[in-house]
Structure 1
Amino acid sequence: MVCGIYTVSPLHVSTGQAEGAIDLPVTKEPHTGFPVIPASSLKGVARDAFEHDAKEVKDDAERERRIKDEVHPLFGPKPKSGNQQGRQEKQGEGSAGAASTPALFAGALVFTEARLVAYAARSLNRPFLYVTCRLVLERLGRDLRAAGIGDLGSLSLPAGSDEVLVADKSLARAPLVIEDLVYLDAIAESATLKGIAESLARLLPDREEETRNRVEKGLVVIPDGDFSVLVRRLPVRARIRLDDNKTTSGDDGNLWYEEQVPADCLFVSMIGARRGRGADLDRLRTKSRLLEVSQIGGNETVGEGICLWRVGCAPATAGKGAT
């Protein structure tokens, strides 16, 4: 099934390795440079939400039962840390009833990394537009077909086309300005893109009607090369840690630069189940409300990484046709 992830606040999922002048760049695909959210991050957020829900039960026995019966089948049991294992073995020395470490096994759920589908970019035509490219939509359609979920309409554009497509006719009037990209001609309204925009809008929760409408009317397809340049210039924020004297001097002071994915970007991940475990996928779908507003990545205490999730949505197949 499809999982739509919409960034409400800037997102920072770091690689932990410096990249040039950027101390903490975000995770990107190595071959495209497009930002992604690792599958391990998504699975960890989902597991945490399910564990938190299970631990809300006050009765200890019921809480343990829910973790064993509802969390472990989906995500697998957590391996004990070295310290926990050592304490357990020490407590069990000389005791015939010593507790044994529970067997580890893989959970039923399979997450793919969340790929960027629409990037929020500043514009002179509107406060911002949802920008994508033919390559991104082509890969999304391929992923949907591989998952047996559906398809997206073909934009019928020749490879290397410089034509810009818009979902809303009011954007078809030149010039179209996106960041420092200026398009003076070859801007066309596309009925197929309008259908795709409506499909992408369904990746947001039903209650977010205004944001859905903004996606439907603000989706723009630019050339692949322009999109690649655009998303490789992500916002960078300087972060600083002050010492007790409110200065950066001394060993406690530090200055570093973090890359961020802006708010109002849309990512898509596919979630499946291992063979023979389809019932567990249905269990995730029935409890998807637990993930509707979730935090991903670092800087949680300063409000970053707040995202809207919609789990189990299936974009309607966009009608195929000419541009």
Structure 2
Amino acid sequence: MYKEAALITFYAETPVHMGAGQSVSYVDLPIQRERHTAFPIFWSSGIKGVIRDTCYRIWKDKDKVNLIFGPEEDSDFASCISITDAKILLYPVRSVRGVCAWITCPFVLKRFKEELESAGINEVNKNFEVIDNLHLKDGEAVIPKESISVLGINDKQVAFEEFVFSMKNTSENISEVVKFIKNLLPDTSLTTDIEKHFAIVSDDTFRDFVNYAVEVRTRVRIDQKTGTVKEGALFTEELIPSESVFYSLLFISDPYFGIDDEFYSCLLEVKEKTQGKLNWEEAKNKIEKKEWLEKVKNKEFYLKKAWEGNYFNSAEVLNNLHEILNGTILQLGGDETTGKGFMRVKISL
């Protein structure tokens, strides 16, 4: 059972390619997409692998990484964390005025609200009430009042990519939605002004933009012997544009040591009452049933490391991950040598 939950947001510092493999379309290497919406998505397995590798390089402790993320080989315990697929929240498009705009749609915002509620972030309710009754037609856009002077080509219209949209309204409640989202995003010089570059379009319009307003690059492979293009080595690659914003949920349970639940609960009680100030030997002396200690001798190495390393329960594991990941940049999707896939991360507790 998961005891802690947090929101992770990803801000693309560079174009990102999380590949879905081969394709039968004109794009040889497409990005990952949801089957039912065709929206871009980052599969959780790739995200978790990158986070695991990042933690290992910083902690330099294989046992700690295995206990939190699960062992790479077969074992009698699994990971104590679960990361959901990262879904699109805001998508950057060209704007006739203001250079670019971050767009979203009612479908995305409603789903975002539901997932935040499942993570226990209940303050979303008062901010997102306006979205429940928001009905947009194609060709309509809702923008906050702060965006009118920046994005508007006049006081009634905005233009994204090659299309002109009429402004439906500039409700104060929309501004509150933008402020709420802004507080969840990684801090960059661009996200500080997000309320000036924000728009909500219809679900169908959003689907079309995330399908067709993507980067497609043509690449070649070079023959290392001749220094020229290899024959038949021309290929195209689809990329999520920089400044895109995705989100994922992180759920954490207590680490599983394979010990008696009652004994583990007793240890947690000792840790809570003493505010974690006791070392492992002192904690063991607080246990009344000494026969328990005989049963966990083969686990004591891991118990001691987790106890004294402050990753003994779900709250401590979350704090460890928050310390490592919050504000850092992860490299998702390979392509390290071409400078793509850099995502700035924020964890909201």
TM-score (norm 1): 0.79
Q: 1:89-118 deviations in whole A, cap 9, x for unaligned?
A: xxxxxxxxxxxxx73531111100110000
Structure 1 partner of 2:308: none
Matches within 5 A, 1:4-153: 4-55=9-60, 66-68=61-63, 70-79=64-73, 103=75, 105-150=77-122, 151=124, 152-153=127-128
Looking at structure 1, the residues matched to 90 and 340 of structure 2 have their Cα atoms a distance apart, in angstroms, of 19
Q: Which residue of 1 aligns with 2:177?
A: 196
Q: Distance in 2 between matches of 1:268 and 1:189?
A: 26
1:124 CA drift (Å): 0.5
**Structure 1's 236 and 274: CA in aligned 2 closer, same or farther, altered over 3 A?**
same
Residue 294 of structure 1 is matched in structure 2 by 330
Aligned residue number for residue 255 of structure 1: 234
Q: Are the aligned partners of 1:205 and 1:292 in contact in 2 as well (CA < 8 Å)? A: no
Q: Does 1:187 align with 2:159?
A: no
Shift of 1:191: 1.7
Deviation at 1:275, TM superposition (A): 6.4
Percent identical pairs in the alignment equals 29
**Equivalent position SS for 2:229:** coil
Rounded to whole Å, the distance in 2 between the matches of 1:110 and 1:131 is 29
Paired with 2:81 and 2:59, the residues of 1 have a C-alpha distance of 18
* Shift in Å, 1:237: 0.5
Contact 1:131 1:222 survives alignment (8 Å): yes
The answer to whether the 8 A contact 2:10-2:186 is kept is no
Q: 1:164 aligns with which of 141, 165, 173?
A: 141
Q: Which residue does 2:321 correspond to in 1?
A: 284
Aligned amino acid, residue 179 of structure 1: E
Offset at residue 247 of structure 1 (A): 3.2
Distance in 1, Cα, partners of 2:156 & 2:136: 21
Q: CA deviation at 1:299?
A: 1.0
- Relative distance call for 1:223 and 1:262 in structure 2 (3 A) is same
- What is the aligned partner in structure 2 of residue 320 from structure 1? none
Q: Distance in 2 between matches of 1:34 and 1:213?
A: 26
State the Cα distance separating 1:122 from its structure 2 match: 0.7
Per-residue deviation, 1:17: 2.1
SS in 2 for 1:50: helix
How big is each residue's C-alpha offset from its partner over 1:24-82, in whole Å with a ceiling of 9 and x where there is no partner?
A: 00000001010011111111111011100123xxxxxxxxxx321x2122101122xxx
**Structure 1 pair 54–133 and aligned structure 2 pair: CA distance change class (3 A):** same
Aligned equivalent of 2:226? 245
Q: 1:19 to 1:221 in 2, by over 3 A?
A: farther
- 2:296 counterpart residue number: none
Distance 1:33 1:19 in 2: 16
Q: Are the aligned partners of 1:13 and 1:27 in contact in 2 as well (CA < 8 Å)?
A: yes
Normalised by the length of structure 2, the TM-score is 0.73
Rg larger for = 2
- Shift, 1:156, TM fit: 4.7
2:9 and 2:246 in contact (8 A); partners too: yes
Regions of 4+ moved over 6 Å: none
1:113-145 CA distance string (max 9 Å, x none) = 110000010110111100111111010001011
Q: Structure 2 vs 1, CA of residues 67 and 161 (structure 1 numbering), >3 Å: closer, same or farther?
A: same
Q: How far, CA to CA, are the matches of 1:121 and 1:160 in structure 2?
A: 18
Say which is worse superposed, 5-14 or 121-130, in terms of deviation.
121-130
Q: How many residues align?
A: 274
Unaligned runs of at least 5 residues, structure 1: 56-65, 80-101, 315-323
Residue number in structure 2 paired with 1:177: 159
Determine if contact 2:46/2:332 at 8 Å carries over to the other structure. Answer: yes
Kindly indicate whether the alpha-carbon contact (under 8 Å) linking 1:295 and 1:306 is maintained by their aligned counterparts in 2: yes
For residue 265 of structure 1, what is the aligned residue in structure 2? Answer: 244
Match of 2:59, SS state, is helix
Query: Aligned AA for 1:38?
Result: W
State the shift of 1:286 in Å.
Answer: 3.4
* Partners of 1:32 and 1:191 in 2: CA distance: 30
Partner of 1:85: none
Local SS of the residue matching 1:241: strand
Question: Amino acid of the residue matched to residue 128 of structure 2?
Answer: G
How many angstroms apart in 2 are the aligned matches of 1:249 and 1:212?
42
Q: Is the 8 A contact 2:178 2:195 kept in 1?
A: yes
